[in-house]
Structure 1
Amino acid sequence: MDPLLIIISVSTLFFLTVLLLYSLHFLNLLFSQSGEGTTTQPGGGMNQQQHKQLPPGSSGWPFVGEGIEFYRSGLAGIPEKFFFDRFRKYSSEIFKTSLLGETVIVIGGTASGNKFLFLNEGKLLKASWPPSVRKLLPINDSGSHENNFKAIRTTFPKYLNIEALRSYIGTMDSMTQCHFETHWDKYMNTNEVLIVHPLVLKYSFALACRLFLSMDVEQEARRVNELLNLFVVLTNGILSIPVDIPGTPFNRAVKASDLINKEIVTMIKRRKVYLLSHENTPTKDMLSLMIKFSDEDSGKFMEETFIAYSIMALIIASHETTSSVITSVMKYLADYPEVYNKVLKEQMAIAKSKETQELLTWEDIQKMRYSWNVVCEVMRLAPPALGGFKQASTDFMYAGYHIPRGCKLYWSSIASHKNPEYFPDPEKFDPSRFQGDGPAPFTFVPFSGGLGTCAGKEYARVQILIFIHRVVTRYQWEKAFDAKDEEKIIFNPFPSITKGLPIRIRAQRQDY
């Protein structure tokens, strides 16, 4: 091909690309100014609000907003930099940005900001999700909104409360030991390298399938693995820019979401038949609880699609976050031998108080105080979720700025956790921060707060502590890579270790 034609073609393509970007940028500014200048009132009218000052900030590039910088800081292992740079540039309490295809106002990084957001949910604010989550898990679009969410508020706490957890601990403990026997013991004392994160992901997902869906994870191992692979694809695209074009993470996530939903709906239909023929059988899992729930006033049951998407959301929240925390805990225990020894001493004391093969109990979990301090410090440095979204239910003022009704807001856990005002020398790993009364209220927020507090907080605590008990009393481990190849924790969107944490394991000494 003629070189001159190549130059002309490239130049034309570049010109068209620039023209498209500027056109999109103009439209973005036009629509954002239109949205910022008016507020929809309950009666449907539009009142001008241009005289009210909105928070400072930038909308970034057309469509992608400042998402590239947000992701870049996460992949660099310093997600707090995105927030701290803007707090310094615009305001120490609030700024405007554009993430995941939406303009959002960030409030956070301070105890007062977190307190305001958490305690005003249900008053000035309501829970919200970015466009990608709403499209992949369209719970709001399934049937009666109020009836469905009343069901969630009723069933989730009933299944995840302390009383219920007491009855699951034996199953969780036995499954944990079975997991080690099947997937870890073959690496023991062999000098072969074990990659922690994929195995922990497999473990936590199997646990969720067993407890939430009553799947026989041993007999249905292939089916569980197929579901896990679909959930991995879904998770990789759940906080991406919602561009549904073949080849994009979001497009792959859409396909995975549809397949998972169909699979769970099939389970629901089968379970309904079983429940009708076994009316006196106790309700033992989340799936049965949701199927049997009916609204007191209307008598309506939840739609099958809504139940399926709700279960999907619960599984993502339960297995993805706990697996990332467990992997990070093992990394920090390998990095800090003195911390590891304290955890080992605490767990060995519990092990020696029990008979051989005796399972852990709720009382044993309560004795793991130092181990939980270690987990909390890990979640401070690498929170399972970087933050969350909310939406303004009405106009209000915050820090001297106008927040219009309908506006999306974002709070950042990592900005609070890395704030030196609350955590001196914030990069230092120091579990003693959580001794006694621990951090000040609303500064340590890995599970959110207020009405939005994660319903699975205690479930996660029990699962993580059971895993820690069994892994430290069963194995010793060391990282299997050179110092020059040191791994780091990145966020995409959940915290993960760049190579999955390769380690070598050997049998634990029993003379402690």
Structure 2
Amino acid sequence: MTSLIGEPMVIFCNAEGNKLLFSNEKKLVQLWWPSSIGKIFPKSGDKPANEHSLGLHKLLHLILKADGLREFVGIIDAVMKEHLQAYKSCKQINVSDMSKRYLLTLSSNIFIGINDPAKIETLMKHLQDIEPGVISMPINFPGTALNRAIKAARLIIKDLVATIRQSRIDLSSHGSSSRKDFMSILLSAKDDNDQLFCDDDISCNLAGLVVASYTTLRSTIFSIMKYLAELPEVYDSVLREQQAILDGKEANDMLTWEDLQKMKYSWNVACEVLRISTPGIGGFREAITDFIYEGYTIRKGLKILWTFDATHKNPKYFHDPEKFDPSRFQGEGPAPYTFVPFGKGPRMCPGNEYARVAILTFVHNMVTRYRWEKLNPNEKIIHFPAPMSAQGLPILLHPHNP
């Protein structure tokens, strides 16, 4: 046991520990967040969720599942293609900047239904203040990282509430909306008591989605671009798979759900990126009763940290763990509870399918258009709060021949 972020903390470091935590939600442990998260987004932390809010949370989970995402694949592909048009004449790009705008344009379109560049730039600024605050010391004084994050989160939620209210006015004036975005679905949905969900709950849940889909996905896309630049044989295999999908489509066809299912090697590459360069440190739980694990008594109230690298980089589970090897995910893949970038069990990240769609759509469009090389081969990697290159990974693009 140790002490982290001002709390007595037990750290679980193996697959057996992961299994125990993920299999005993609400039996031995429950989800816990550091107090900084609760201060930035109160409804996700220290405010008890009511039945109304829980119903909305469940509905969002359903939308984020595979069946709910099917109809959004073409929209996500269209957003990526439109995004790349801004870089059409560029020979050099910064991957961090490019992926930021892609992900925020995507989440603004898919979650909120807006495509205003000015609003997206404002959202980006707010998110840059939230990132450091999430892992900061829980000290809320003017000028601290946490204080800036709290202010930024409030501004995001305020903007979302205004957007929601305007959307409700539009719906009442023009009837049902033909828009396809998460907000439109939530505005017309009702809870178990046949009541519409309230604006504050919708805004908080959508704000949480935007934040959660930003830092981790941006880091993952950065790492994919980095490894594809460094490993030409891996790039060539990805290109062959993606080109075969492209060759089977008409000129203006969008990607489909069925296309994504064919991207098996590309997803193996993404999984190896998530293993070797996982965006984050792990997750937290709190013991809700005394229990014994490996001879140690875990007391009720103790906080628990399970870590990605404890299994992702453990040679017991992954031979030569620092080697980049997508074949680890062929066939049945890694042993249970050793590869857990999205967690497992009832608290598994609800955005795992959305992440897969966003990542594979990005990869498809990039590799079928370009090769690229790193402009600074010795650029340092920083981990704050997720892996990212110090300069944002500047690359030189080499377009394929038409």
Report the TM-score when normalising by structure 1. Answer: 0.75
Query: 2:393 aligns to what?
Result: 501
* Contact 1:143–1:303 under 8 Å retained in 2: no
May I ask how many residue pairs the two structures share in their alignment?
402
Aligned to 1:199: 98
Query: Are positions 1:271 and 2:174 aligned together?
Result: no
**Which residue identity is paired with 1:165?**
L
Tell me, in whole angstroms, the C-alpha distance in 1 between the residues paired with 2:46 and 2:290. 28
2:288 to 387, 393, 397: 393
Asked whether the equivalents of residues 159 and 285 of structure 1 are also in contact (C-alpha less than 8 Å), the reply is: no
Task: Verify the 8 A CA contact 1:151 1:290 in the aligned structure 2.
Answer: no
Cα distance in 2 for partners of 1:406, 1:199 equals 43
* Residue 139 of structure 1: how far off its partner (Å): 0.7
Q: CA deviation at 1:480?
A: 0.6
1:228 matched to which residue of 2? 124
Pairing 1:369–2:273 present: no
Query: 2:90 maps to which residue?
Result: 187
Taking the aligned partners of 1:103 and 1:160, their CA distance within structure 2 comes to: 34
Distance of aligned partners of 1:143 and 1:449 in 2 relative to their CA distance in 1, 3 Å threshold: closer
Question: What secondary structure does 1:328 align onto?
Answer: helix
In 2, are the aligned partners of 1:293 and 1:302 still within 8 Å (CA)? yes
For residues 387-426 of structure 1, give each alpha carbon's deviation from its aligned partner in whole angstroms, at most 9, with x where no partner exists: 0111112222222222222221111012110011000111
Q: Is the 8 A contact 2:35 2:45 kept in 1?
A: no
Amino acid at match of 1:106: I
Give the aligned residue type for 2:336. P
Q: Identify the match of residue 63 of structure 2 among 130, 139, 159.
A: 159
SS at match of 1:178: helix
> 1:291 and 1:99 mapped to 2: Cα distance?
40
Instruction: Quote the offset at 1:300 in angstroms.
Output: 5.5
Computing the radius of gyration from Cα coordinates, the structure with the larger value is 1
Distance 1:102 1:293, change over 3 A: farther
Letter of the 2:50 partner, please give it. Answer: E
Q: How big is the shift at 1:250?
A: 1.2
Distance change in 2, residues 1:478/1:274 (3 Å): same
Listed one character per residue, the Cα deviations across residues 225-284 of structure 1 (whole Å, up to 9, x for unaligned) are 111111111122112111112222112112111211211111122222233334544684
Question: Do 1:155 and 1:286's aligned partners in 2 also have CA atoms closer than 8 Å?
Answer: no
Q: Identify which of structures 1 and 2 has the higher relative contact order when contacts are C-alpha pairs closer than 8 Å and 6+ apart.
A: 2
Aligned counterparts, 1:32-51, within 5 A = none
- 1:406 pairs with 289, 301, 304, which one? 301
How much does 1:320 deviate?
A: 2.1
Q: Which amino acid aligns with 2:192?
A: E
Counterpart Cα distance in 1 of 2:141 and 2:373: 43
CA RMSD of aligned residues (A): 1.9
Q: Report the Cα offset of residue 287 of structure 1.
A: 2.3
Equivalent residues of 2:5, 2:137 under 8 A apart: yes
Task: Find the partner of 1:125 among 29, 34, 42.
Answer: 29
Residues 157, 406 of structure 1: CA spacing in aligned structure 2 closer, same or farther, 3 A cutoff? same
2:127–2:211 CA contact under 8 A, matched in 1: yes
Structure 1 unaligned runs (5+)?
Answer: 1-95
Counterpart Cα distance in 1 of 2:332 and 2:45: 43
Partner of 1:97: 2
Q: What is the aligned partner in structure 2 of residue 491 from structure 1?
A: 383
1:473 aligns with 2:368: yes
How far did residue 98 of structure 1 move? 2.2
Name the SS for the 1:186 alignment partner: coil
SS in 1 for 2:67: helix
- Compute the TM-score of the two structures, normalised by the length of structure 2: 0.95
* 8 Å CA contact 1:386, 1:412 repeated in 2: yes
Report the Cα distance in structure 2 between the residues aligned to 1:205 and 1:433, rounded to whole angstroms: 31
| 1:476 CA displacement | 1.3
1:174 and 2:66 matched: no
